[in-house]
Amino acid sequence: MTIANTGPLAPVATHRRRPYGLLLVATPVLLVAWLVIWPIISAVIQTAFVTTADGGSAVSLETYSFFFSDGYSLSNLSMTLWTTGVCAALLLVVCLPIALYLRFSDSKVAAYVQGLAIFPMFVPSIILSFAFIRVLGPNGTVDLLLNSVGLPHIRSPYLTPWGPVIGLVWDNIPLTVLILLSGLGNVSNQSVEAARDVGAGKFALLWHIILPRISNSILVAISFAVLGIFSAFTLPYILGPAAPEMMGPFMQRTFRELLESKTAITQAVVTFGFCIVFGLFYVRSVAKNRAA
């Protein structure tokens, strides 16, 4: 007896349709409602209304107009946008060749390369930050090596905008490679061989056969990276400059050090706004994938 899989979840025998299923899923669902959905709604409401003198409330975009007129906030935002853009571009430039190599190679070296590419997933970003400082920081290993061969010190990326960029790219390599690799799995060997048979060179192959097939995976990988990088905290907090700072450390400082929770939440809603397209696209892709 085969049942066509129509929905994202395979249908179950319907004579078991009793509400106690709801009971079993209630706790995690309520947790999501309380700690994901409600905070987002509440954040928007909280920042869009002000309490008036007579105790009522009125729509006011005061906190947002402050954010978008404050030079410091804006420079933080533009630095975040810059970092996210540069990271996304770098990730593609780094990961696409790795994924292509892994997809079309079966040598023993490939297994090693794959292992290395996935390895950062098992290195917590806090250890990465420490390693970054020890290697690229002032008097770090790179300086030692340069010094030993009589070359001048590097201009260390530590505490400059490039610090978080390097760290975030390093951190995001595994999932980007995995997502691209999974997309490349949809490109069959036959289609590649057929294209070569009709005379496609390597570049034509990449441009006309492979890239069109994996464009969705590329967008998913970018969306995932953007969502992670836009509000990254640990790496920019440790490796980045004190001012201007990325949105993550900025929100943290506003919330915990300046104790201006409303301002911090406004900043959070701004990050939501900038990422909404990527977020929706990402969720849609995951849901579609799951449904397939």
Partner 1 sequence: MAATLVSRKTDWTGIIFAAVLTLVIVFPLVVVGTWAFTNVWRYPSVIPQEFGLRFWNQTLARADVWSSISTSLTLAFTVTALSAAICLPAAYAFARLDFPGRNLLFFSFLAGHAFPKFGLLVAIAGIFLQLNLIGTFWGVVLIQLVGTLLFMIWIPVAAFQAVDRRMEEAARDVGASPFRVFWSITLPQAGPTIAAAILLSFVGTFYETEGAWLIGAPQVRTLPVLMISFINNQPVIQYGAVLSVLLWVPSFIALLFARKVVNSGSFARGFGG
Partner 2 sequence: MSVLKIKDVSKIFPNGTTAVDSFSLDVADGELVCLLGPSGSGKSTLLRMVGGFETPTSGLMTIDGEDITRVPPEKRPTGMVFQSHALWTHMNVFKNLAFGLKLRKVPADEIKRRVEGVLELVGLGGYGTRSVTQLSGGQQQRVALARSLVLEPKILLLDEPFASLDQHLRERLREEVRDIQQRLKITTLFVTHGQDEALSMADRIVVMRDGKTEQIDRPDVVYREPQTPFVAGFIGTMNLIEGVVANGVFSKAGYSTPVPVSDGPVTLAIRPEAVDLTAASQNAHGKVHRVTDYGTHGLVDLELLDGTRMKAMVPHPDLFKPGQGVTLALRAVAAYRDGAVIYRTGVVTPVSHPALVDA
Least distance in angstroms from the C-beta of 44 to partner 1? 9
Contact set for partner 1, span 46-105 (CB under 8 A)? 46, 97-98, 100-101, 103-105
Half-sphere exposure in the Cβ direction for 116 (13 Å, CA): 10
Contact string 13-42 vs partner 2 (x = CB under 8 A): -xx-x-------------------------
Among 81, 86, 110, 200, binds partner 1 (CB under 8 A): 110
Q: Omega before 11 cis (within 30°)?
A: no
Q: Which does 112 bind (CB under 5 to 8 A by kind): partner 2, partner 1, none?
A: partner 1
Least distance in angstroms from the C-beta of 12 to partner 2? 12
Other Cβ atoms less than 10 A from the Cβ of 163: the count is 24
Q: By C-beta, is 74 or 124 nearer to partner 1?
A: 124
Measured between alpha carbons, how far is 63 from 25 in angstroms, rounded to an integer? 38
Measured between alpha carbons, how far is 236 from 214 in angstroms, rounded to an integer? 31
Decide if 266 contacts 47 (C-beta within 8 A). Answer: yes
| Closest C-alpha to 212, from 191, 193, 242 | 191
Among 50, 228, 241, 260, binds partner 1 (CB under 8 A): 228
Decide if 66 contacts 72 (C-beta within 8 A). Answer: no
Least distance in angstroms from the C-beta of 189 to partner 1? 6
Is 6 one of the binding residues for partner 2 (CB under 8 A)?
Answer: no
Least distance in angstroms from the C-beta of 80 to partner 1? 10
Give the gyration radius of the chain's Cα atoms: 24
Buried b (16+ CB within 10 A) or exposed e, 181-199: bbbbeebeeeebeebeeee
Q: By C-beta, is 20 or 69 nearer to partner 1?
A: 20
Segment contacting partner 1 by CB under 8 A, of 1-9, 52-60, 70-78, 85-93? 1-9
Q: By C-beta, is 84 or 161 nearer to partner 1?
A: 84
Q: Could you list the residues that contact partner 2 (CB under 8 A)? A: 1, 14-15, 17
